[in-house]
Amino acid sequence: MKAVFYEKYGDPDVLQYGEQPDPKVGPDSVLVDVRASSVNPVDWKITAGYLDAALPTSFPVIPGWDVAGVVVQPGPSVTEFETGDEVIGYVRMDTVGLGTFAEQVAAPVRTLARKPRNISWAEAATMPLAGLTAYQSLQAVGVGEGDTVLVHNGAGGVGTYAIQIATAWGARVLATASEKNHEFLRSLGAEPLTYGEGLAERLAEAAPEGLDAVVDFVGGEDWVASLEHLKSPERIASVADAEVKDRGGRYIFVRPNPADLLALTELVEAGSVTPVLAESFPLERAADAFRSSMDGHVRGKIAVTVGDQGQE
């Protein structure tokens, strides 16, 4: 099969496009014909070797944890999916080696849910990692009806999902972003705030009665500045800074969860959540997709499509 892979750590220039062995389908996995994947910052961080101490790696590595595609072969013990089923998945293994930037992937059923019927392959591929990160972060801090929640980095891939999910759950959402993204945040249902110096004062004005919950998707000083407005210190979660645990909050490293993924699918089909697709690149241009993500100014998510069907 054709795939993107790398044989040593480095920048996007180490990515190659060519033949790799076909996946082996285990008893509790399904073989998926990939229609699209998407880029997450963790992908190029792993490629650069930043997570080498945490994740065992076997070269050559096929990057990618997101997938949207069609089941072509269920494993012998699989009852959850059949040939022809359209699925999405956060296909994170316990080791790094066999990812989703390929024509096919063998995906454990514990990583999959059905694809929403009302969106494209490319849009669907943006859902698993980013959508689950948002969903699980909001769950961790108990966001619900009537809460006022602050989303740091609202215009990013995870933030766009968090705003829409929290709004669907009945929360009032404030979100940080640069001024050029303020109207975009409003279109998602958030009240925008400029990040950076003076944020504490802007929060005091926007939420004089305080914040019920905070979710941080960027790190830096802003989440610390928001603590003085948080009613309960345990209701803050960060995916970017493990020091949040020292303040009584939660550090989130997203986990595959088919029930959570199905809940996201249902929110998308109900029209409560719409994936924000910034741009798409064909599989052979995955290095360009990495570079675009590394630029750090992406609104929403970047997809990597496989074949003509990925462009639907």
14-71 pLDDT per residue, tens: 999 999 999 999 999 999 999 999 999 999 999 999 999 999 999 999 999 999 999 9
pLDDT of 312:
41
57-83 pLDDT per residue, tens: 999 999 999 999 999 999 999 999 999
**Does 268 have pLDDT greater than 90?**
yes
pLDDT of 173:
98
Quick count: other Cβ atoms within 10 Å of Cβ 99? 23
Helix, strand counts (H, E) of the chain: 9, 17
Q: What CATH number was assigned to the domain covering residues 130-251? A: 3.40.50.720
- Interacting residues of 262 by C-beta distance below 8 A, sequence separation 6+: 113, 114
For the chain, give the mean pLDDT. Answer: 96
Mean pLDDT of 142-169: 98
Q: Where in the chain is the domain with CATH 3.90.180.10?
A: 2-127+275-311
**What does each C-alpha distance from 298 to 8, 48, 175 come to in angstroms?**
27, 20, 16
pLDDT of 308:
75
297-310 pLDDT per residue, tens: 789 999 999 987 54
CA nearest to 105, candidates 86, 126, 91: 91
- Cα–Cα distance, 298 to 101 (Å, whole number): 20
CA nearest to 44, candidates 68, 20, 61: 61
pTM here is: 0.96
Burial class of residue 205 (count of CB atoms within 10 Å of its CB; 0-12, 13-18, 19+): exposed
**What does each C-alpha distance from 7 to 2, 17, 97 come to in angstroms?**
15, 11, 10
Q: Which CATH number fits domain 2-127+275-311: 3.30.230.70, 3.90.180.10, 3.40.50.620, 3.40.50.1820?
A: 3.90.180.10
CA nearest to 110, candidates 84, 128, 83, 137: 128
Tokens (6 digits) for 161: 């999902």
**Does 292 have pLDDT greater than 50?**
yes
H or E stretch covering 158: helix 157-168
Q: Where in the chain is the domain with CATH 3.40.50.720?
A: 130-251
